[in-house]
Chains A and B, each alone.
Chain A
């Protein structure tokens, strides 16, 4: 008797409607958690895919969530970091008025810059919320078993290195949540020499995203991508040449780059690292993904 291999059922897809806070308010409801999308999440073509992946996860686990939709506006972070305190506070007060008007208590966002601003700088202006970054939220879902990261794309044996976002890590001391999420993927995690508190900036923070870098020898995102690629491929010599490193570690083993992933958890890091990979002409071997995309793919819901 020949064993019959059961064909998996064609994955069913269903269209989802993302609820807005205004819709819910019309029904007299307040969402348990507000998904703050952020400007990059809403407008940047690449990061829109992350927003969609995260929305799928929220839908998939049945979270009571909503978004502000057209009522969302820039948090003011880039203005503040560039020194335009006036514009920042205008934005902040407007957003706080909207959020407080709807009685929002808890906010999740995929953008560390939005996260930091709403969490740390809004309270003094009258906006007090429980703010969590999507890496923390994903970690929670995995811990609770609501997401098993199995059944979809397998990352077994693939090399992943995580690029710490400054506004998540040093700014807010969140180092382990994104790593826990990646660890759940069963992938082969490798750490860059400059990681966690010693992580190197992608070069986009502090409003650098919107201007040309000052003249220098190199762009910061190139330096950081070189380090990521050297880590993924195990080029010890390249890593030894890094400057500003405050940790010591043993030489990595050589490895093929093919299929490796640079994991990020910030829209700006995404842009910077993707540009860096293109600059090194490695876009066919190395991909840059956000945590939400990796989780949604592993869960088999990212379509």
Chain B
């Protein structure tokens, strides 16, 4: 038997529905404005890097993006985490459809606007609810893998300092809160409609069950609970949106462009430094015309760009986008031969250091302040931000020299990040600008220069292997 709403509540509800579109529009505006402001900062940070032409090959890039970013191809090297991640990922995609409905409802005072889709809506809600429940389970599994003693090896390491550790768990907690709000909203709404004998579009496999657990039959309270769930859900999403730029969770956005702009050449191919090509050609052929160096706006010669990378602006912009796309999953580090035999090198750390450095030197997003969260474990606090650099300030030569350029990190990264490229750029700086290679490598260099071989052999012995060379005639039966 449906009871009538309390008169004062009706008035309140009336007022509320008058104000809701305005409140909601303001909230949306603030959230998206803030997000755009943060994204602009990050875009500026990425563009600090050296120019690199990544245009063209749209068809190949599109296929790659479909496979690696949308299709999560590289996650499926290992089934358990791939499956858990897939749940959360598909949940994320479906929730975006639901957000569209929330925005329409919020702005126009409609209720479950997409309900007009009929059976499609039924399916949508059912999938959404099922995924929501699975997400909670997946997140619990993630939390356990990450935090139990001992956690999976790739969730430990020097680079996972206070902030990255906290960040990883915050994401998990937020996801649970968002799902809880969704279920509160749906179950209260469902119960309210049932009690009032009205029809609510959608099929609710989870809320149908939760509904009976709600400890009230008061329609006003149910109404209130539904609104609380609704607001909590959308506010949570918008807050989370603005948390992303400070978090490794930004990968849910940047993974797509990052894969799109990933290298298409064989992994073994390293870039040839163009300015050096001109120099070498000029040395070999005196008639070769070296292109004139770039000049500044006032016509004076610009300071030459250094060879290799000392700081973030010496890296190509793609490397900086890499740093913002990193999920800090540690797959790269867990397959790095140097890392797993106990050397200091961790490709994940190189990537994380790059992001920390660019935010320390240029813009930082809302919450994340590298000098608050990032520094306590390994480094002296940076006093002069402009003096310190990525190389030596964060990444030590010892780390760089331990790399075998094996490409295992590149192969393993689920979002196509290339830590090796940054390592080589920094090695170039050490060798070409500072002449700071380990001594044994300098010996190797001079052997190549003098003997045409990395070892100290006489070039005249190069063909000795062919002396006294016999071949047996094959015995045929």
Contact = CB atoms under 8 A, between A and B. Distances in A.
A120 B268 contact: yes
A158 interface: no
Contacts of A248: 78-79
A295 interface: no
B272 interface: yes
Given A90-B280, A200-B337, A223-B341, A210 B408 contact: no
Between B307, B343, B412, the greatest number of chain A beta carbons within 10 A of the residue's beta carbon is seen for B343
Contacts of A255: none
B448 A219 contact: no
Interface string A201-245: 101111111111111111110111000000000000000000110
Interface in A67-100: 67, 69-70, 72-74, 76, 78-87, 89-91, 93-94, 97
A300 interface: yes
B107 to A, nearest CB: 47
B477 interface: yes
A44 B267 CA distance: 27
Contacts of A84: 428, 431-432, 437, 445
A8 interface: yes
Interface string A116-134: 1001110011000000000
Interface in B412-465: 412, 424, 426-432, 437-438, 440-441, 443-445, 448-449, 452-455, 457, 459-465
A253 B348 CA distance: 36
B345 interface: yes
B156 to A, nearest CB: 12
Given A15-B469, A211-B440, A220 B337 contact: yes
A85 B474 contact: no
A43 B453 contact: yes
A263 interface: no
Given A210-B454, A214-B343, A86 B471 contact: no
A284 B106 CA distance: 78
Contacts of A145: none
Contacts of B78: 246-248
A301 B471 CA distance: 6
14 contacts: A13-B473, A51-B465, A52-B469, A55-B471, A56-B469, A83-B432, A120-B266, A121-B272, A172-B267, A207-B441, A210-B443, A220-B338, A300-B474, A300-B475
Interface string B242-282: 00000000000000000000000111111011001101110
A81 B424 contact: yes
Q: Which 6 A-B pairs have the closest CB atoms?
A: A171-B268, A217-B342, A83-B427, A206-B405, A216-B342, A73-B452
A31 B343 CA distance: 46
Contact of A206 (B153, B403, B466): B403
A81 B407 CA distance: 12
A208 B440 CA distance: 10
Contacts of A152: 474
A220 B406 CA distance: 12
B412 A211 contact: no
Nearest to B436: A83
A187 interface: no
Contacts of B284: 93-94, 97
B240 interface: no
Contact of A124 (B272, B344, B424): B272
Contacts of A91: 448, 452
A197 interface: yes
Contact of A80 (B270, B452, B466): B270
Given A170-B408, A217-B341, A87 B430 contact: no
B334 A166 contact: no
A303 B469 contact: no
Interface string B8-32: 0000000000000000000000000
Contacts of A70: 459-460, 462-463
A166 B266 contact: no
B58 interface: no
Contacts of B469: 15-16, 18, 52, 55-56
Interface residues of A, number: 97
A203 B473 contact: no
B78 to A, nearest CB: 5
Given A210-B440, A210-B443, A89 B471 contact: no
A159 B266 CA distance: 32
A60 interface: yes
A219 B424 CA distance: 22
A116 B268 contact: yes
Contact of A121 (B269, B336, B448): B269
A86 B280 contact: yes
A76 B448 contact: yes
B98 interface: no
Contacts of A287: none
B196 interface: no
Interface in B18-59: none
Interface string A137-171: 00000000000000110000000000000110011
Contacts of B464: 42
Nearest to A49: B465
A208 to B, nearest CB: 5
B92 interface: no
Contacts of B457: 43
A14 interface: yes
A37 interface: yes
Contact of A243 (B153, B410, B430, B441): B153
A78 B340 contact: no
B427 A204 contact: no
A39 interface: yes
Nearest to A124: B272
B398 interface: yes
Contact of A214 (B398, B440, B468): B398
B428 A41 contact: no
Given A86-B276, A205-B405, A120 B269 contact: yes
Contact of A211 (B77, B265, B401, B448): B401
Contacts of B403: 206
Contacts of B280: 86, 89-90, 93
Contact of A203 (B335, B404, B430, B453): B404
A1 interface: no
